[in-house]
Amino acid sequence: MMSRRGMAALIIFALLAVTPPVLIFMGQGFFASVVTRMMIYAIAALSLDLILGYGALVSFGHAAFLGIGAYAVLMLNSLGVTDIAAQFGAAAVAAAVFAAITGTIALRTRGVYFIMITLAFGQMLYFFLISLSVFGGDDGASLPARSTIMGQGWLDHDLALFYLVLGILALCFLGLTRLTMSRFGRVLIGTREDALRMQAIGFRILPYQLTAYVISAMICSVAGVLLANQLEYVSPQLASWQRSGELIIMVVLGGIGSLTGAMTGALFTIGLEEGMARISEHWKLYFGLLLLAVVLFSPGGLATLAARITGKGRPE
Name the strand (E) or helix (H) holding 233. strand 233-234
| Helices marked H in the chain | 4-25, 31-52, 63-78, 84-106, 112-130, 158-181, 183-200, 205-231, 241-254, 259-279, 283-297, 301-310
Query: How far is CA 44 from each of CA 37, 181, 239, 300, 308, rounded to the nearest angstrom?
Result: 11, 20, 12, 19, 27
3-state secondary structure of 194: helix
**Predicted TM-score (pTM) of this structure:** 0.93
Q: How many residues does the chain have?
A: 316
Cα distance between residue 278 and residue 289, in whole Å: 18
pLDDT per residue, tens digit, the chain (316 aa), is 456 667 888 999 999 999 999 988 888 878 899 999 999 999 999 999 999 999 989 999 999 999 999 999 999 999 999 999 999 999 999 999 999 999 999 999 988 999 999 999 999 999 999 999 999 999 999 999 999 999 899 999 999 999 999 999 999 999 999 999 999 999 999 998 888 888 888 888 999 999 999 999 999 999 999 999 999 999 999 999 999 999 999 998 888 888 998 999 999 999 888 888 778 777 778 888 888 887 777 777 776 666 666 555 544 4
Rounded to the nearest 5°, which phi and psi values hold at 83?
A: -70, 130
